[in-house]
Structure 1
Amino acid sequence: MAALSVAGYGIVDTMYFREDDRLVLTPYNFLLYNLSSENLAQHGLHPRWLHLVVNLPMLTWIIFNIVLSLLFGVLHQGGVVPSLLRLHGLINGESSSNGSAIVYWRTYMPPRHLLGIPEHDVVSGRVRVTDLAGAPPDQVENTLVSLISHRKNTTLYIVTPPFAMQALQSPLSACFAVEKHLFPHLDMDHIPESLEVGWPEGLTLGIYVADSDCIEGHAFSIAH
């Protein structure tokens, strides 16, 4: 969203201020203008101590805001929206006779409307989205087994960071294959766990698809 906002401002400024075909980027033009001593002399040159006391802290503030914008506007939970768009394509490509169950775990609540699923598919239960938020692994495992056992021919997806997937019991985690790792994605509440996974997978959100027969085969051991 931050990148889209910057692009939008650039387009508006270009349409309003341009005198030729060049792109108008106001912050960039501001910097170029103020780097010229000839331009500054027209407005009065300031003593160097003023730059140290006023302008340098202001520059630090700008850098601080840019860093936070990238961190919280791009990286933090950055894979949630792309995952919904990806799943939209996957679900539409499936047979209409099959159902789809999508489980989000250790992410922000997914905005379901981005799946673009017809209302009748939601009402009929053909497409079901479950948000497990920060549930413990045993609750996740029981939910996955329940979704498979209650409806046959269901394609089961779990969307979660790789570090969370590693927390599932080994018999069950082996029943999932990676469909896509979406970069970038960072869970600010689990930075150490993400770092343990390593680069670049630790900065991704995984979409995993289940082998239903495998999950059913391990259902008894998981339940006990």
Structure 2
Amino acid sequence: MGNLRASNEPLEMVLYRDRLGQPPPHLVYYALRGGMFLLSFVLEDWAIYELVPSPRHRRAMVVLVASSYVTWTYQTHTFSNSLETLLVAWGLVLIRRIVDNKRHTSFFSNALLAFIAVLGVFNRITFPAFLIFPGLQLLPQFIRKPLSLAAFLLFGILFSFVAVYTDTAFYRPTASLLSTFRDPIITPLNNLLYNTDTSNLAQHGLHPHHQHFTANLFQLLGPAYIAMLASLFNWPLVVPYWMRNVRALSALSATMLLSVFPHQEPRFLLPAVPLLLSCVPMLRSRLLLVVWVIFNAAMGFLMGVYHQGGVVPTQLAMRDIVSSSTIHHIPSATVFWWKTYSPPLWLLGGDNQSTEIQTMDLMGMSGVEMMLQLEEVVPSCSNPSFVFLVAPTSATFLDPYAVSARQSRDLSLQLYPLWSYRKHLNLDDMDFGEDGILPTLKRVVGRRGLGVWSVRRSCK
């Protein structure tokens, strides 16, 4: 298993498709990753360089941010959180430029800030949490210079309309300009309504409200977070110096606001990482710097290679897996993904494919519910199966259904292994409370991998 080549297409077909303006998905994927790397390398470092006022500390802070595993793993992904990180940093830069410009209205800066604000909100609904308190610095400026406020609001309304029209046209291709006014699709509003419903968040996992402060920040910052906490207990008890700037205000206030929501993933705090690292008090300690290097090397290897590392390779190989699973041509197939990140659908290629693949993301639902979903679509014994399951090989719930297990004969469904990718860890599947530390690590690490199974009826 796992030895399928990247594509069964002849080279002539690949070149012909490229000439038609449809490059292969893996080429687009690596181009996007390279583009995100360049954006992060240029825009993030530039923003930190402007936000740190001390010339003596600027280079050190840029190196500290660049050496963080968050920068060279998460920030090179096409996550909405990665784009949010750049927008938050440049939002703070523009706020500072507007506030420092005492003589002019700064029409261009206000227009650019309005663009970033609209793009940030339509990209992620959490974006305002990072700028709401730093943005209060603009109030005296807007009072003294009403034209500055007018420019910000005018461009904000214009960019908001463009964003709403773009979303409406995307989801309703036949929509006219007039219908956009009558029945618009407002993405941030829909996002907010979805995330304020606890039953929706429960599908993704619920966490205690202290998760961001007690676990997620430590996972992202490591020894830097320890240095921050240690500085809070220095005598005399005063506000540490590193907290007396707009970068810390933005990061900490946003973390508190996001802690209100019960679903809390570390990636939600990505914009806070460069902001906090640009003011962390650890530069004078060689021991902390050594621990910092070890921490980021280990976490970069874990999060950049293994954690959910099989999702993209499996999706890229999915068409080959489906086509090679049966001697009969399958006009359509249904692939269920369970206990993984949501698979990128565009990696399956365009619509002009011989087999239509429907992807069903089951997220983290229970195993019993997952099997009920499969029961509804798996065909009878007389028909070839067109149903596939992608799941971590560490999921022991699937063991009784495997064809090699004796118990599978008494179950209505059977799983036939087709393909697996070894460099995959499902860290979300750890349950130290019920299984214990060593059994959990043995299962998750020892049985690491992402597997693809053909789901068929158990016929006697």
Partner Cα distance (2:445, 2:294) in 1: 25
Matches within 5 A, 1:97-108: 97-108=330-341
Q: Using the alignment, how far apart are the partners of 1:102 and 1:113 within structure 2?
A: 14
The one-letter amino acid of 1:197's match is: R
Report which of the two has the higher share of strand: 1
Instruction: Please state if 1:68 is matched with 2:299.
Output: yes
Using CA pairs below 8 Å that are at least 6 residues apart, which structure has the higher relative contact order? 1
Give the superposition deviation at 1:156: 1.6
Task: Rate the CA distance shift 1:174–1:142 in 2: closer, same or farther, 3 A.
Answer: closer
Q: 2: CA distance between counterparts of 1:213 and 1:204?
A: 25
SS class of match (1:129): strand
CA contact (8 A) 1:104 1:133 kept: yes
- Is the Cα contact below 8 Å between 2:394 and 2:448 reproduced in 1? no
Deviations 1:137-190 (A, max 9, x none): 12111111112249x544221111123253566544861121122111111122
Report the equivalent of 1:191. Answer: 430
SS in 1 for 2:394: helix
1:203 alignment partner AA: R
> Matched residues, percent identical?
24
Counterparts of 1:185 and 1:176, CA distance in 2? 20
1:114 paired residue number: 347
What is the CA distance between 1:69 and its match in structure 2?
1.0
Q: Residue 54 of structure 1: CA displacement?
A: 3.0
**Cα offset for 1:126?**
3.4
Q: Which residue of 2 aligns with 1:87?
A: 318
The structure whose residues are more often helix, as a share, is 2
Q: Please, which runs of 5 or more residues in structure 1 have no aligned partner?
A: 10-52, 219-224
**Any residues of structure 2 matched to 1:1-224 within 5 Å, and which?**
54-93=285-324, 95-116=328-349, 118-119=350-351, 126-149=356-379, 153-164=384-395, 166-167=397-398, 170-171=407-408, 172=411, 175-192=414-431, 195-197=441-443, 200=446, 202-210=447-455, 212-214=456-458, 217=459
Check 1:198–1:131 CA distance in 2 against 1; reply closer, same or farther (3 A cut).
closer
- The two structures, once aligned, show a CA RMSD in angstroms of 3.6
Q: Distance between the aligned counterparts of 1:195 and 1:56, measured in 2? A: 29
1:99/1:153 contact within 8 Å kept: no
> What TM-score do the two structures reach when normalised by structure 1?
0.60
In 2, the alpha carbon distance for the partners of 1:144 and 1:165 equals 17
Query: What's the offset of the Cα at 1:199?
Result: 5.9
The structure-2 alpha-carbon separation of the partners of 1:180 and 1:189, relative to structure 1 and needing over 3 Å to count, comes to: same
Runs of 4 or more off by more than 6 Å in structure 1? Answer: none
Question: Aligned letter for 2:336?
Answer: V
The CA deviation at 1:195 is 3.1
For 1:59 and 1:120, locate their aligned partners in 2 and report how far apart those are by CA, in whole Å: 53
How many pairs does the alignment contain? 166
For 2:363, give the aligned amino acid.
A
